[in-house]
Structure 1
Amino acid sequence: MARAIVTVKNNAVVAISRDVAAYFGRRDDYVLQAIDSLDPAEFASLNFQEWHRDHPTVRGRTVRTVDMTRDGFTLLAMGFTGAKALQVAKTSAHNSGKDRSLTP
Structure 2
Amino acid sequence: MADTDPDELERRIARTRAELAQTVDAIADRVSPKRVKERTVADVKARAGLFVASVGDALGVTQRPAPGEDSERLWDDEPPELGPVLIGVGAVLVLGAAIARGRRRRR
Larger gyration radius, structure 1 or structure 2? 2
Q: TM-score, normalised by structure 2?
A: 0.24
- Higher normalized helix content (fraction of residues): 2
- Higher normalized strand content (fraction of residues): 1
